[in-house]
Structure 1
Amino acid sequence: MIVTASVLNPAGCLTLEWSSASSGAGWAAAVSCGLPCQNFEVVLQSSTPAFHLDTGFYYIDICPGDTVSITAEGIYNLNDSVYHQSDLTTDFIWDMGNGTFDTAITVTTVYDTIQGYEVNLYALDSNGCLSSQIPKIRVRLSTKPDMDATSVISNPLCQGDTTSLFGDAITQLWHATSSLNVAGQTYLPDGSGASYTSSLIFTAFSPSQVLQSGYDILGIKATMEHSYLGDLNITITCPSGQSATLKSYPGGGGTFLGEPIDNNAQPIPGVGYEYVWSPTGTITMLGANGTYSHTFTDNNGTTYNNASYLPPSTGYPANSTATAPYPTVTYLPETNYSNLIGCPLNGAWTITVTDNLQIDNGYIFAWGIEFANSVLPISWDYTPTISSEAWNNTSDIIYNNGGQITIMPSDSGTFPYTYTVVDDFGCTYDTTLNVRVVPTPEVHLGNDTTICGFGVVNIDATNSLPGVSYSWNTGNPGPIQQTNVSGTYIATVSYTENNLTCSNSDTLVVEQYDLADVDLGNDTCVSDQIVLHAGNTGHNPPFLYLWSDGSTADSLVVTTPGNYSVTVAIDPNSPCTTTDDINVSIYQPGFLGSDLDFCSFEQITVSVNDDGSGIQHSYNWTLNGDATPFNGYFYKHDELAPGEYTLAVDVDNGCHDEIKMKSLDCTLEIPNIITPNGDGYNDKFVIDGLENYEGSILVIRNRWGNKVFESNNYNNDWGDTDVPDGVYYFILITNVAGHENTYNGTLTVLKNK
């Protein structure tokens, strides 16, 4: 126990007072002189992430893998009383609890392993004086919540069905374990009696707290590998110098610890096993020697067959190449931990490994001491809380209440649904459920339909999904239902995947009605009027009629030409109707007009007047009962031999008319001599047949070329008695139906004949 005078006691006098019920032979003390100390405190100035104070502790809450930076500062209330103190002259000594040590005023480190960390900080000023008060710092890593209970009610489910997903995140308690510290890697090179040490420094116990039982140490753990157990002597030494032997020398021979590289030429680490020496162990290492062997390949590629080894205490590491079986052993120390009773718990605990032979080497990768919970200075724990929860937003969510959603997938396939939570440390965790949506067949039978008469309808439920099955309410197992009768038809199409059958149905109503039998007959032509009868054989009245003029009787009196139609239904509720139409032409008798006389060479055209109905009529022309090439509304003949003819026409196979035609021989006979002597015979220049040529032009000239007569409509009246004898010249021009002919010649006039 160290007692010092302070700068507040300038006299330097120390007074000791005992209060004890026992007696002793006396006491002893070592008195020494040293530099005085000015008490000072160390606090945290800042941290990233920011700390918060709670019941005297600085708490820094982070996520696994986060980086933490902490800056300390000293509070020097007695500064310059004897000497000067400042942060620049003070050493800040950090143990970040994760194997990181530093002496800067600001320390930065990364925390990966999920647990709580005690950060130890103490400071020495320029006189080597320890700070009188140090901050209590805890770094808490968010614990990963247990999300295994996140569930979906139905999986798989059918497309278009609904199911609910329930997010479940149970936050996990972290409780301080009995292990207070873990040291880092130590190389154990080949040596002859050389000792290699690694120390753990504890400062969190009460200043006077000592080990009271060997069972207060639950175990000393070391993750290590070595190629020759017989080399080693391993001891643990407490701060007071008391020690216990974990493995003694000699003994063990060439037995392997871990999976070493049996080659001391290169310091290549092998695969370490974690060994535990516990007062509740089952056997010492020497006792277990020679019991176990296995085959493995080291990190240098060398394979060892049936190599003797000591099994680990806590399982085989992931990078182990050892063959089965995989036993584990908890080892007894070779001297009881009761040798350590009375050891101060605070201070340096040191593991010492002595390599006694100049062969083989190895590594201690990590080691630590696990104290019983009853002696731990502080027992603390924490449980993060969930701040928010949500499912990833998708279009098929129809209900969302944070941790619970209801979905109705409209598509088939496998779809991920991710449930995400954020805890009060700001850490995000998620889990994904893959929901299989089995296709539900689409069934579209179409709109309800009507069958008129004896028609047949094919109701098609065909689906493109492979292996679907069909079921109709008619018992039909096929994709197509054929029918010609009224009824309600229901098709169910089913698709099965992974023992889940998804079905869909559609309904189609078929109504069948008979059709009326309606026949207005062929198109016709009449001379006056006609009564059209709709008729409807084979059915029972009443019937519904609708004529094209809007009337609703069963017959229609037609007095004007045109197209007439009637629509008939046999049932007032039926949408099925029968329609027929007829063209009616009306021509009064004598529609071809009067009989005709004409010159045989004249062009004759006879036509039927349009009746204004807009109907496309049919015409059949005959001449003297013989067919002609004409089938339109007119008959035409350019030249017809003299004679009498009958021209007839039939319009629309119903109206008949005919006329008589006389084709005349209209050849002209022109005389070349006349005797105008008054005897009444051959007195005039008479041209036989000229009566057929109205508007004929005649010009007569004498022998000297003088015009003696001219008429634009010659009527056989030239040749008076006053016409002198002689030879005359004439020009006769006729025009009939556009055909113009010119005749010329000489005419001799002789009066005395």
Structure 2
Amino acid sequence: MSHDKKHDTMQKNRFRGLILLFFLSFLAPSLTAQPDCTITSQQLFPLCKGTSVTLTAVQQPNCVYEWSFNSLTTTIITFDAVETINVTLRVRDTLTLEECLSTPFEVSVHPEVNIGFEQMQLTCTNGDSDNGNTAMVKAVATGQSGPYTYNWDVRPIQIAPGNPSLAIGLKAHLWYFINVVDQNGCTTKDSIYTKAYPNPVIEIKSTPDTAFIQNPYVTFEFTNKSIDTVQVTSHYWEMGDNTPRVDLEKPVHVYTEVDDYSVILTVFNQYGCDTVYLKDVKVLPIKLSIPNVITPNGDNINDVLIITEGSTEDETDNPLKSVSSDGGIRPLSAYYKKTTLVIFNRQGKKLYESSNYNNDWGGAGLSDGVYFYVLQCEGFKSNEVYKGSITIFGSGN
């Protein structure tokens, strides 16, 4: 090798060495320095409960992060402050395997405010009337961060003068909300469901349960099932037909038209609260259906003459129409104010007579054959007469 070539080779090796030293000078700190595990935050502590917290670590190459709070592996974590806690961070360099553990970073939270409620006055359940807007609720905040500011979320605003913790003029059975702010500016929210005076338990009875236009007299009465705890001091009835209301204990009302009626009973308890109860009443037209055959053979099928209401222009035949609320067949007195049934033989001899017939004639003592009847009915709207024949078959006489 010539002297010049040897000199060039030495120059190249020297240059390469300088480059390597320059590279190692930058690489060496990363091979030997400890990772940085400092935790920082831009927020001032302590915080209000529920505030979003952001903690930050230094971004470093080749490093992994492990937060003690929730095992996240990012350089920035965010969470809601619920209580005072200490957070630590472990940082590990994946090349040098060096690692560090931070000192505990305290995320402190202001003391919690507790809100208690006292309903100082009940109200009636009818919120549409004046006596249904009288509830009063007082909020009491306790804790270590008073004094407190009370902000009721009530519309319209109904706060007692000089006492913002007291909400007045509230309705029953509604949720009302309040925000309480302490001296640190922290807000605590809570709510209360307002209570009411108890309503009486009322049972309404109508006799009959279904009336007919030819005998449209209905008697109403009510029973207070809660008399031991809630008194009924007064009441009145509205009969559903635009007649004046009445305050009788046991009113008898006359309905003059066929219709469905909704009867309203309003009662007042000892607290001055009024409560409304409903009772539906039907008034039906009437046209009697009288059988033309009975078979009094003792089999309990068609043994007696049973007169029921038949079809009308407004109704089709329905075998249940004649059944009262207690399950029995209605007597003729349910249909008309007064009735008289007379049964004759072919010679015109009177064999049977009954006022307000009760569906119980079975032709006792009579032989099989054809007989005749006259049924006179006195009604509220008009008087009616039914005539026809009836055949007795299977009497055994």
TM-score normalised by structure 2 residue count: 0.36
TM-score normalised by structure 1 residue count: 0.22
More helix by share: 2
> Which structure has the larger Rg over C-alpha atoms?
1
